[in-house]
Amino acid sequence: MPSLSSPSRTLRFPWHTKPNSKLKRPCVVQTILNLCSQGHLSRAVESLDNLARKGLRLDSQTLAFLLEQCAKSKSLKEGKWIHLHLKLTSRKNPNTFISNHLINLYCKCGDHGEARKVFDKMSLRNLYSWNNMLSGYAKSGMIKPARRLFEKMPDRDVVSWNTMIIGYAQCGYYDEALRFYRDLRGLSIGFNEFSFAGVLTVCVKLKELGPTRQIHCQVLIAGFLSNVVLSSSVVDAYAKCGEMSDSRRLFDEMTNRDVLAWTTLVSGYAKWGDMQLASELFDEMPEKNPVSWTALISGYARHNMANKALELFAKMISFGIRPDQFTFSSCLCACASMATLKHGKQIHAYLIQTSFKPNTIVVSSLIDMYSKCGSLVVGRRVFDIMGNKQDYVLWNTMLSALAQHGCGEEAKQMFDDMVRSGVKPDRITYVVILNACSHSGLVQEGLGYFQSMACDHGIAPDQEHYACLIDLLGRAGCFDELMTQLEKMPRKPDGLVWNALLGVCRIQGNLELGEKAAENLIELEPQSSAAYVFLSSIYAALGRWESVEKVRKLMNERCVKKERAISWLEIENKLHAFTVSDTLHPLNEEIYSVLEQLAGQMEEDY
């Protein structure tokens, strides 16, 4: 049966096939069952060969039991041996009962071709046969074959419709998922908890409040809010929409809350930056799992509280909680944001010591951490020793690291290596390579990459690509070409493009164009402090003091404040954060003493 929206918990109508324990079985059959119960599935299947030689045949119940064990453990090789045993014992075309178990086996093991062969050869199919094959396609993301099979079904029940709704939702076809849900509700075959699973997945993914409220009401009216999985999904949907008050209200009304429900709310608070409430709720949790810890750690890392993220990570380790891939990725991002190479190396060492096998995201986070901590050579070494380089995320991260260090030529070579290795660049790849060209003054090369996006790889330039192009041309002072490209844009420039233009105007001192960029940016993003500050400086440079006063007044009226940068300083293995002109830090005298020493050293060096 299809699973609900949470990957960590599934609702099922379980079916188990067990031979009748009250019946007296031949010794050889009992031996096979004993081997299965002891975890020796391979030996149990191998013993079928002896049965075939002796001319013995297992009953359907025992065969189904063996096939079920193979499906549960995803033992495709053993399952195929059983299928072969059927053919050798004159059961080339097994009955519907055994065929359904074979289909389930092959689908669970990912061999949908064999599953379909069994399905097509069945002389008699029941509704379970159709749903079994349909579920196999849908769970594997093969939504088009699933749809074709669905259209051919002589009869459909609520399971058939639920499977398609969840399948479309999990594959990202949200409109189709909603359409199938509406069609189901218009039928007279009824619905169940699973009917809401797919549509709630859509609500979570789309982050739209209207549909979330509608489905919440329908779940309430149907009397399914007592289902902790559905309730947690609604809590999650509200959180994704930013409606934390509604999310918390439903959470408080839940009579039963499991660790998933608690974690969902903690994650919601952390996502929207309310780290105090996230921390308080985390402390109240009756039990925690690695996902709970990671939700809070990633929240700290995401909202510039890297030191707290690392403190919580250390606490997690001390409690014996094993981190997962997301935990390591979040902690490495925290290290990168603070440029703390020591902590990043410690996490890397922990990965090695515990024989943890990092996925592409963790390896990419390692590369990013080393790069941002000034160790580009080590980051490149991590990239080079990675065995499988068929993931574009890995290449994009290494390209980004080279771009940040101004290594434009090396980034060009890396891009060529990526294409030669058969990895297709995506839109992020072109954002990164354009940035690399921009920071290395490679104007013609950058223009070449911009042109090749659509021609060579079928990627239409979006606003972010145009922002990179504006930055590339502006840094080189090519304002005529810049204006030409700006006029060629298929859509009206957004905040990204005007921000890029504002930046290059500041660098090149182009006050006239900078004024235009700032005015457009203020109109699009009235809370962006950069535009107000730059516009005010332009007016001041031109001696237009009344205009300066108007800009400052507008900032006050809109409660726009210039963002203060935060710096970190490590003293005696303890990390301290402070802002510009900070006099409130308890160790400000020591901090400024170190800064004076550094400034003096820089003057001597240069």
pLDDT tens digits along 488-528: 999 999 999 999 998 898 888 888 898 888 888 888 888 87
Quick one: pLDDT at residue 567? 67
**542 vs 465, higher pLDDT:** 465
Question: Is 54's pLDDT higher than 90?
Answer: no
Helix or strand or coil: residue 349? helix
Winning range, highest mean pLDDT, from 10-14, 315-319, 532-536, 569-573: 315-319
C-beta separation of 470 from 501 below 8 A = yes
Question: Is 141's pLDDT higher than 50?
Answer: yes
Amino acid identity, position 538: I
Confidence of residue 593 (pLDDT cuts 50, 70, 90): confident
Which of 45-54, 304-313, 563-572 bottoms out in mean pLDDT, i.e. has the lowest?
Answer: 563-572
Confidence of residue 175 (pLDDT cuts 50, 70, 90): very high
Question: Is 298's pLDDT higher than 60?
Answer: yes
Confidence of residue 586 (pLDDT cuts 50, 70, 90): confident
Residue in 30, 21, 17 with CA at minimum distance from that of residue 58? 30
Which of 19-33, 108-122, 246-260, 409-423 bottoms out in mean pLDDT, i.e. has the lowest?
Answer: 19-33
**Residue 291, strand partner residues:** none
Alpha carbons within 13 A on the beta-carbon side of 315? 11
For the chain, which domains are there?
492-557 (1.25.40.10), 566-605 (no CATH)
What is the rounded distance in angstroms from the CA atom of residue 528 to the CA atom of residue 51?
A: 77
Question: Is 583's pLDDT higher than 90?
Answer: no
Quick one: pLDDT at residue 2? 36
Residue range 391-419: mean pLDDT, rounded = 95
Question: Is 588's pLDDT higher than 90?
Answer: no
Confidence of residue 5 (pLDDT cuts 50, 70, 90): very low
Say if pTM beats, i.e. exceeds, 0.75: yes
Q: If you average pLDDT over every residue of the chain, what do you get?
A: 88
Residue in 79, 178, 163, 80 with CA at minimum distance from that of residue 128? 163
Token pair for 318: 């001390």
Question: Is 361's pLDDT higher than 50?
Answer: yes
Buried b (16+ CB within 10 A) or exposed e, 482-504: beebbeeeeeebbbbbbbbbbbb
What proportion of the chain, given as a percentage, has pLDDT over 90? 67
Quick one: pLDDT at residue 358? 94
Token pair for 572: 């005696």
Quick one: pLDDT at residue 603? 76
